[in-house]
Amino acid sequence: MSGVGHKFARLARFIALSATAFALSCSQPPQIARDQYPLPEDVEISKCKPGKYGGIFVLAASQEPQTFNPLISSDAYSSMVIDMMMAPLVTYDPFTQESAPALAKSWEISPDGKTYTFNLRHGVKFSDGVELTADDVIFTFDAIFEPLRGPDGKPKIDPQTKRPLLKNPSRYAGQFTIGGEYIKYRKIDKYRVSFTTKTVYAPFLTDIGFICILPKHKLESAVKNGTLQQQWSTQTAIDNPSEIAATGPFCIFAYKPGESLILKPNPHYWRADEKRQRLPYIDFLIYKFVADANTSTILFATGQCDAAAVSANDYAWVKNYANTYDFKIYERGPDSSISFIWFNQNPNKEPDGKPYVKPYKLKWFSNVKFRRAIMQAIDRDGLIKSVWFSRAVKLHSIISPANKKWHNPDTVKYEYSPETSRQLLKEEGFYYGSDGRLRDKLGNAVEFDFMVADGSQNSTTTATTFVENMKAIGIKVSLKFMDFAAIVSKIDDTFDYEAAMLGFTGGGDPSGGKAIYRSDGFLHVWNPRQKTPATDWERRIDEIYERQEAELDTRKRRELIFEMQQLFSKNLPLFYLTTPMSYSGIQKKWQNVRVPPLGSIIWNLEELYERD
């Protein structure tokens, strides 16, 4: 039987090979012209081993970019592609976890810590050959903060928040509102710009790294006539890819919606190797769009694409193909995302006077000992063993252990112990009825609805395990699957739920978590948008948050963030679940691969070259 299977596989491989040979015989990628243009005056010389030009790098993407406009992209997939094409002033070095020069070759910080002056590289050009200067930087920030004007020319004001409306609404205006005011910026000369914040703001360099500099000569008219939002859309990439003037290593060669996006080297890129060969080495970068993450994993495992993030779930089988298809998988440690379950502790009422959460249930949910009992009844070890085949770790803090710089390893840890949780419940006056169900002092059976986003296999298994764990301590949990939009509207708008599960992507500077940490944040999910902090510990967290923003000393800032994590773990508003290990695979033929502690394995794609 196996002999037959073997023969079949051999035949299939033969057919496949001849088909590929046929395909190759008539597919000749065009030559990429190299050394067309001289290197810029302030070229950055990479320390990587000099390689040779050529090769095609294929990546599978399970979703398509929705826009190529860096100002409006809000999804990870658009950002992933835009990052290949557009450069910010400063970038982030994944090894040192510090800011590193990009379009700005250096910067100075004023002694009061409020003014940052950036020195742009001289001679850097957009991919269409026009030089990038301070005017483009100013143009980009003007576009972000440009107010929306009514027919009378006066800025329009949001009737609810009394703040001016923006012509090009993006997340950045909010991000650069520091101390209640927009940051100030000005051009010093052709190659220098300075930014001033109202108060000291520690994560400023990180945040400025999110802004890709836009070409004024391409987009000025669009900002004037109010069509910036529609510029650089997918349609532009189809019809007229050269319109999208890049500053990153790549620019668009062709885009076929639903099929593939092909990037080619930016002929004006500002990095080169020690032999003064302009980067990147590869001829083409192809994003092949596939239906889902499973397909992209299959493509990688069968040698059809060059690099991929491999989930802990798939690692078990993908590694079996490593020798056949000559790739290597790196273990990257725990993932940077966090996932958690929480109880709705919102004490407010609906307009018609009905409380969001039934008062007797709210009493349970806001009792920290009750929450601790629940936490200790969740069998995370079991989940890790069964679902993840031991390729996951328990999460003990609101910041994942992957984020080594900010993760506090010494927060309170709650281990699985249903006995302890029964004990805790009894101490709080709960008792078990003759039917084995848990009841509170007043005799109410303890039960609650638990809403979970549908669609993900892992969240489903976690949820069913949670239900079984609760059953074991006499609590009845009814699972409610909902689509993501429904969950969001419940936690952000209608507040009519009892318990829920959600995950957030993590990594980066903790200042990104403002909306979760602060008591007035809208993602402070258990009790969002508080007017004044409901508890002392929440007040303390608000205080810490404010202080860390103004703290320039990283060591002291870390201490504050550590204290915040400790407060979260002690008071348990969220029951942290597990975080899987992450893996990245790449074909062995690629040289110069350096795997950073956090982030994408191809962060230095421009430096990769193909082995002979």
Partner 1 sequence: MIGFIFRRLCATVPLMLAVSVMVFLLMYLAPGDFLSQARSSKDISPEIVRQEEMRLGLDKPWYVQYARWLNGVSPIKTNLLLPENDRQKHGIVYFGQPDFGYSWSYKIPVSSLIFQRLIPTLILALASTLLSYAVAIPLGVIAAVKKDSLFDKISSFLAYAALSIPYFFLALLAVLFAAVTGVLPTGGQTSIMYEFMSPAAKLGDYLRHLILPTLVLSVGSIASIMRVMRGNFLDYSKLDFVTTARAKGLSENAIMFKHVLRNALNPIITSLGFAFAGLLSGALLVENVMNYPGLGQLIYAAIVKQDQYVVMAGVTMGCAMLIAGQLIADILLALSDPRIRLENAPIPWKRLSVFVISAAAAFALVTYLCQASQSFLNILVFLGKWGGIIILALLAVALVAGLAWAAVFFCKNLLKDIIKTRRGAAAMGALAAMYALAFLAPFIAPYEPTQQCLDKSFHPPTALVWRDGGICAKVYKNVDPSIAKYEPVDGQYLKIKFFCKDENSKYKIFGLIPFKYKLFQCQNKAPDSRVFLLGSDSTGRDVFSRLLYGARISLSIGFVGIAITMTIGFLVGGLSGYFGGTFDFVAMRFVEFLMAVPGLYLLLAMRSALAPHFDSSQMYIMIIAILSLLGWASTARVIRGMSLSLSNRQYVMAAKAMGERPLKIIIRHFLPNVLSYLIVGATLSIPGYILGEAALSFLGLGIQEPSASWGLMLSQAQNDTKVLMLGFWWMLTPGAAIFAAVLAFNMLGDVLRDIADPQRNFK
172-201: contacts with partner 1 (CB under 8 A) = 173-175
**Range 55-94, binding partner 1 (CB under 8 A):** 56, 58, 66-67, 69, 72, 74-75
Please give the Cα distance from 279 to 265 (Å, whole number): 8
| Residue 442 to residue 228: CA distance in whole angstroms | 61
In 3D, which of 365, 390, 356, 289 has the Cα closest to residue 490? 356
User: 280 preceded by cis ω (within 30°)?
Assistant: yes
Helix (H, G, I), strand (E, B) or coil at 284: strand
Q: Which of 407, 409, 410, 413 is nearest to 558 (CA)?
A: 407
Q: Tell whether residue 1 is a contact of partner 1 (CB under 8 A).
A: no
Q: Is 240 in the site for partner 1 (CB under 8 A)?
A: no
Is residue 28 within the footprint of partner 1 (CB under 8 A)?
Answer: yes
- The verdict on 30 binding partner 1 (CB under 8 A) reads yes
Residue type, 595: V
337 belongs to the binding site for partner 1 (CB under 8 A): no
CA distance linking residue 272 with residue 119, whole number of Å: 20
Residue 10, interface with partner 1 (CB under 8 A)? no
206 touches partner 1 by CB under 8 A: no
Does the footprint of partner 1 cover residue 550 (CB under 8 A)? no
User: Contacts with partner 1 in 434-463 (CB under 8 A)?
Assistant: 454-455, 457, 460-461, 463
* 573 lies in the site for partner 1, by CB under 8 A: no
User: Is residue 325 part of the contact set for partner 1 (CB under 8 A)?
Assistant: no
Looking at the Cβ atoms of 464 and 554, the one nearer to partner 1 is: 464
Q: How far is the CB of 472 from partner 1 (least distance, A)?
A: 10
Strands 250-256 and 192-196: unpaired
Q: Which is nearer to partner 1, 12 or 45 (CB)?
A: 12
Provide the CA 191 distance to its chain's centre, in angstroms.
Answer: 32
In the complex, what is the shortest distance from the CB of residue 116 to partner 1, in angstroms, rounded to a whole number?
20
**Residue 353 contacts partner 1 per CB under 8 A:** no
**HSE-CB of 222 using CA atoms within 13 angstroms:** 21
Among 514, 539, 540, 558, indicate the residue that binds partner 1 (CB under 8 A): 514
Is 285 near partner 1 (CB under 8 A)? no
* Phi-psi region at 232: left, alpha or beta (left = phi > 0; alpha = psi -120 to 50): left
Contact 90, 99 (CB under 8 A): yes
| Residue 225: both structure tokens together | 């006539």
Interacting residues with partner 1 between 367 and 406 (CB under 8 A): 379, 382-383, 385-387, 389-391
* Residue 256 touches partner 1, criterion: CB under 8 A: yes
Backbone angles phi, psi at 378, to 5 degrees: -85, 120
Cβ(306)–Cβ(59) below 8 Å: yes
Smallest distance from the beta carbon of 427 to partner 1, in angstroms? Answer: 27
Task: Specify the residue, 53 or 504, whose C-beta has the smaller distance to partner 1.
Answer: 504
Task: Report the alpha-carbon distance of residue 105 to residue 118 in Å, rounded.
Answer: 8
- Per CB under 8 A, contacts with partner 1 among 110-139 are none
Check residue 106 for interaction with partner 1 (CB under 8 A).
no
Q: For residue 230, state whether it binds partner 1 (rule: CB under 8 A).
A: yes
Which among 272, 280, 281 has a CA at the least distance from the CA of 47?
272
* Mutual angle of helices 418-427 and 368-377, in 10-degree steps: 160
| Binding flag, residue 29, partner 1 (CB under 8 A) | yes
Least distance in angstroms from the C-beta of 401 to partner 1: 20
Give residues with Cβ within 8 angstroms of 550, minimum separation 6.
Answer: 199, 200, 201, 202
Residue 16 within binding range of partner 1, rule CB under 8 A:
yes
Residue 479: both structure tokens together: 């699972």
Name the phi and psi angles at 239, rounded to 5: -85, -35
Binding mask 468-487 for partner 1 (x = CB under 8 A): x---------xxxxxxxxx-
Q: Does 259 bind partner 1 (CB under 8 A)?
A: yes
Binding of partner 1 by 433 (CB under 8 A): no
Residues 523-542 that bind partner 1 (CB under 8 A): 523
What is the rounded CA–CA span in Å between residue 574 and residue 593? 38
Q: Which of 290, 368, 550, 595 binds partner 1 (CB under 8 A)?
A: 290
Cβ atoms of 548 and 510 within 8 Å: the answer is: yes
User: Of 113-121, 155-163, 417-425, 540-548, which part binds partner 1 (CB under 8 A)?
Assistant: 155-163
Q: In the complex, what is the shortest distance from the CB of residue 270 to partner 1, in angstroms, rounded to a whole number? A: 27
How far lies 2's CA from each of 7, 317, 417, 570, in Å? 9, 20, 48, 58
Q: In the structure encoding, which two tokens stand for residue 323, read together?
A: 């020798």
Binding to partner 1 by residue 465, rule CB under 8 A?
A: yes
Q: Quick one: 80 or 479, whose CB is closer to partner 1? A: 479
Q: Residues 26, 31, 111, 359: which binds partner 1 (CB under 8 A)? A: 26
Are 51 and 278 in contact by the 8 Å Cβ rule? The answer is no
**Member of 111, 153, 180, 258 binding partner 1 (CB under 8 A):** 258
**Using rule CB under 8 A, residue 294 touches partner 1:** yes
